[in-house]
Amino acid sequence: MSSVERSEARGLGLVAFSTLAYGLLPILGKVAYGAGARPLPLLAWRFVVAALLLALLVRGSRPPLRESVRLWALGGVYVFNSVAYFRALETVPASVTSLVLFTYPMMVAVLAALVGLERLTVRSVLAALAAFAGCALTASGAPLGGRFPLSGIAWALGAALVYACYLVLSSRFAVGVPARVLALHLAEVAALVSVGLALAGGGLALPADPRAWLSVLGIGVVSTVVSTIAFLAGMAVIGPLRASVLSSLEVIVTLTLAATLLGERLSPRQWLGAALILGAVAWQNRAALLQLARRAPAGIMPAR
C-alpha cells in the first residue's frame, strides 16, 4: 500500500470513527435518562466539559472581538438544537429521534434557496418531500399501533430545523473560520446558555447514580470533542464531499446501537420511513456518492 493509499485509508477511518462517536450520543442520552438525569443539567455539564477540553486543544491567539461575537451568536442558535434534541429523547426512542433529525439536509436545501445561497432544484424539492413522508411514517409507527407523543416528534423536528438554520447561517457568517475555533466558540456559548437554563429550571445537580455521570462524560468527551476532532482530521485528508457522505452512516450506527443496547425495534412502517429518509439524502447527494465510489481525488481542506 502506497503512502497516499495509507493516508486515504486513515482519513476514511477517522471519519467512520467520528460517525460512531456521534452515533453514541442518543444512546448515552437514554442511559443518562434511565439513571434519572434531566435534559438541562445533562446539557450544561456536556458543554462545560467540551468547552474546557476544546480550550486546551485550540492553540494560538483568539479572533478579534467582533468576529468572536458573531461566532458566539451562531452558538446561541446551535445550543437550541441540542436542547430540542434532548427534549425529544425524553419521550421518543433514540432510533426514531435520529431518523427524524436526519431530515435536516433537506431543510438546509430549502432554507439555502430561500435566502439566496443556492438554487432550489426539482431534485431538492422531491428529496424534501420524500424525507418528510419518511418522517411521517417513522413517527406514526409506534409499537402496538400506538403513537409517539406529538411533543416529542415536534422537539425532534425542531432540532432538525434549528440545526439546518445553524448550517445555513454558518455558511454565510463563519466562512474561513478554522473549525476548531468555531467549535470552541459554540461550546463556550452553549455552556453559558445551558448552565443558565439549568439553574433557572431547577439546578445543575445530576443523580448520584454513576451511570448518569459516566454518560455525561461520554457525551462531552466522546460525542462532542473526540467526534469533532476525528471528523475534521479525516475531512482534511479525504475532502469535504466524501466526508459528508460518510457521516450519514451516523444514522445506521444509532439504529444498530439502539437495537443492540436498548432493545429498540422499528416496525415495518418505520423501516419504510427510514428508507425514504436515507434514500432522499443519498439522492440529494448523488454526486458526492459517485465520487466516493470512484475514489476520485477530493479537494484537500487545510488542517484546522
Confidence band for 298, pLDDT divided at 50, 70 and 90 = very low
What H or E segment, with its residue span, contains residue 27?
helix 3-34
Residue 301 domain flag: no
Residue 50 domain flag: yes
* CA 177 to mean position of chain CA atoms: 19
Backbone angle region of 202, left / alpha / beta, with phi > 0 → left and psi within -120 to 50 → alpha = left
Confidence band for 209, pLDDT divided at 50, 70 and 90 = very high
Average pLDDT, stretch 166-194? 85
Burial of 160 (0-12, 13-18, 19+ CB in 10 A): buried
Residue 299 domain flag: no
Average pLDDT, stretch 229-236? 76
Domains identified in the chain, total number: 1
Q: 154 in helix, strand or coil?
A: helix
**Termini Cα distance of the chain:** 27
Provide the pLDDT for residue 245.
64
Provide the pLDDT for residue 244.
62
Provide the pLDDT for residue 296.
46
Closest CA to 206 of 43, 87, 27: 43
| Range of lowest pLDDT (69-73, 137-141, 188-192) | 137-141
Q: Are the beta carbons of 181 and 71 closer than 8 angstroms?
A: yes
Residue 302 domain flag: no
Q: Are the beta carbons of 292 and 61 closer than 8 angstroms?
A: no
Provide the pLDDT for residue 176.
76
Q: Are the beta carbons of 11 and 237 closer than 8 angstroms?
A: yes
How is residue 265 annotated by DSSP?
Answer: -
Closest CA to 90 of 139, 142, 148: 148
What H or E segment, with its residue span, contains residue 247?
helix 240-247
Provide the pLDDT for residue 239.
65
Residue 268 domain flag: yes
Which phi and psi angles does 178 have, rounded to 5°? -55, 135
Residue 26 domain flag: yes
User: Is residue 57 predicted with pLDDT exceeding 50?
Assistant: yes
| Average pLDDT, rounded, for the chain | 81
User: Is residue 303 predicted with pLDDT exceeding 50?
Assistant: no
Residue 226 domain flag: yes
Pairwise CA distance, residues 111 & 25, whole Å: 26
Q: Which domain holds residue 64?
A: 3-294
For residues 241 and 280, which has the higher predicted lDDT (pLDDT)? 280
User: Which cell goes with 300?
Assistant: 484537500
User: Which cell goes with 63?
Assistant: 479572533
Q: Are the beta carbons of 94 and 105 closer than 8 angstroms?
A: no
How is residue 141 annotated by DSSP?
Answer: -
Residue 83 domain flag: yes
